A and B are shown apart, each in its own frame.
Chain A
Amino acid sequence: MATTLDQTIARRQRTLGGAILGSQTFWVLVAVILACLFLSFATDSFATAKNLYNITRNVTFVAIIALGMTLVIITGGIDLSVGSVLCLCSMVLAVTMHAGYGIGTGIAVSVATALVIGAFNGILIAYLGFPPFVVTLGMLSVARSLAMVASNNTVVFEFGPDHDKLLALGGGSTFGVANPVIYMVVLALLTGFVLRWTRIGRYIYAIGGNEQAAMATGLPVRPIKVCVYMISALSAGVAGIIQTGWLGAVTTNIGAGMELQVIAAAVIGGANLAGGAGTAFGALVGAALIEVIRNSLGLLGINAFWQGTFIGSATILAVLFDRIRNFRRSE
């Protein structure tokens, strides 16, 4: 019997299994797991509680910012300022607390700084039509410079009356899991929820897919774009606050070059720089792959100078698979 129209319409083109096998994130996850298995057998030091604790904690800083970056990338933008914003927010927190204010005030001022920077980036990009690359490249320079001004380019390592609270926030652990990891998981769940289940998440994808269509449909394109740059800066600020608590000191060169790792994490995890694709889970998986590569090179006794080569190659390789799939489809 010929298939009826009803059956055709009701049929799913992609099964769940097919969708998983076709996703870049899945294969990167497989790569992470295989690398971990390999390292567990090849070295004695990988699968130890201490090393795993370190890895999971180290992942968080790049991963948290990659969540914000993923939103920006889905809309078809880019945020190069995140490393410098992390530095500025850390410094604002440190200087405020050093001056004798409590941790609550310090965090509030730091978060406000991030939001102001994000809003500035977003307004220039969304309302005045500046290219995201240029605005955020400028901000990369401005934010780090402001951090130097704020601290007179010194190292801040005394955080006033709430010193211990700050160190516990970033350096402590709960039930054997490093605190930053808990923040990362919560933020990832939140981001994932927004992207999948809310209108704003749907509109973020729509803007990346066809901005003109989104405009013509009457979606609030500009406010949403401002919003994603604010979230991106906020994620950098949050990572900065946590990292300050973990390191116990802030210098004006923390977060230098971090934007590249963050973008790499997002892209490895399946975010498409042309816009329209990316997930919160992908950002975490991408960040995990980068950290596992970094960690394993150290454990395997490979010169640390090779790090950039491996991380860069992983980025290109991840996108290569995506290209190959697209070529096959178009043939």
Chain B
Amino acid sequence: MGRLVVLLELSNISKHFGAIQAVNDISLSFEAGQVVGLMGDNGAGKSTLVKMIAGNYRPSHGTMRINGNDIVLHRPIEARQFGIEIVHQDLALCDNLSAAANVFLGRELRRGIGPFRVLDYKAMYRRAGEIFKELRSETRARDLVKQMSGGQRQAVAIARTMISEAKIVLMDEPTAAISVRQVAEVLHLIRELRARGILVVLISHRMPDVFDVADRVVVMRRGRKVADKPIAQTSPEEVTGLITGAIEGG
């Protein structure tokens, strides 16, 4: 297999909040169609790093490049324009709406002419159904989200990113607080995204999930990158050591 094209590149990224150095001089490059596990203890700087990629924070120092072009993100909506989508831990879904309504929220399909356009329920149900089928998830477009399992809710959140044809999907603890069967479902969804050439950055505390699905693992400790290894060349024991600081990383 030839070398993949670098999709997202971070160079010497730092972020400080006053005197607190949350992220310290991190350089990383990500390729399309990869799943990268981002691991570290609480306060290691994972969330801050991801929030910079998602446009929530601006880096204090350093540059970000997408396909070789420098980008500066001021707001999440700008990140979305570059194809960067984030799936939040709390999923940010509206319980009282159907799966399809959530998938298309803010990007509703409409039919009609000029200013006289109405919501196209049929098209949205059909398209959402197609996406769930692509994801091979047993999620029904017409069901209300409030009646769904954790795995189905993840499928809805992920389907949202597919509507926008995201190239980079950032996932914040997608497997926290759901059942074992649902975890398997979510890991399956992540593989489906990878198969579509999407870069998935997976923030997780759960070692088995990362080793199950990721191609690469990046470990952070106290704002610094302490390891960046292909999953095949490391072990849960080593990663645990790197997270806690028992093993000094490079």
Contacts and interface: CB of A to CB of B under 8 A. Distances in A.
A78 B141 CA distance: 31
B88 A216 contact: yes
A5 B101 CA distance: 21
Contacts of A208: 96
Interface in B143-182: 143, 147
A276 B95 CA distance: 9
B97 interface: yes
Interface string A188-212: 0000000011110010011011101
B61 interface: no
B205 interface: no
B158 to A, nearest CB: 15
Interface of A: 5-6, 8-14, 196-199, 202, 205-206, 208-210, 212-214, 216-219, 276-277
B127 interface: no
Task: Identify the 5 closest CB pairs spanning chains A and B, nearest first.
Answer: A209-B94, A276-B96, A209-B96, A213-B92, A197-B118
A9 to B, nearest CB: 5
A19 B141 CA distance: 16
19 contacts: A5-B138, A6-B133, A8-B138, A9-B133, A10-B129, A12-B140, A13-B143, A197-B118, A197-B119, A199-B108, A202-B119, A205-B94, A205-B97, A209-B96, A210-B94, A214-B94, A216-B76, A217-B92, A277-B96
Q: How large is the interface on B (under 10, 10 to 19, 20 to 34, 35 or more residues)?
A: 20 to 34
A196 B118 CA distance: 9
Given A216-B92, A217-B106, A11 B118 contact: no
B34 interface: no
Contact of A11 (B105, B133, B140): B140
Contacts of A12: 140, 142
Contacts of B140: 8-13
Nearest to B75: A218
Q: What's the dominant secondary structure at chain A's contact region?
A: helix
Interface of B: 76-77, 80, 88, 91-97, 101, 105-106, 108, 110, 118-119, 129, 132-133, 136, 138-143, 147
Nearest to A8: B138
A12 B139 CA distance: 11
Contacts of A10: 129, 140
A12 B140 CA distance: 7
A213 B91 CA distance: 8
Contacts of A202: 97, 101, 105, 108, 119
Contacts of A205: 94, 96-97
A176 B40 CA distance: 75
A213 B93 contact: yes
A206 B97 CA distance: 7
A209 B95 contact: yes
Contacts of A197: 118-119
Given A6-B133, A9-B132, 12 more contacts: A5-B138, A8-B138, A9-B140, A9-B141, A13-B142, A199-B108, A199-B110, A202-B101, A202-B105, A206-B105, A213-B91, A216-B92
A199 B97 contact: no
B96 A219 contact: no
Contacts of A14: 142
A168 to B, nearest CB: 33
A5 to B, nearest CB: 6
Contacts of B119: 196-199, 202
Contact of A5 (B80, B88, B110, B136): B136
Contacts of A6: 133
A12 B95 CA distance: 18
A46 B110 CA distance: 46
Contacts of B129: 9-10
A10 B100 CA distance: 12
Contact of B77 (A198, A213, A218): A218
A209 B105 CA distance: 12
Contacts of A199: 108, 110, 119
Contacts of B96: 205, 208-209, 276-277
A10 B126 CA distance: 9
A205 B129 CA distance: 22
A221 to B, nearest CB: 11
A210 B105 CA distance: 12
A198 B76 CA distance: 25
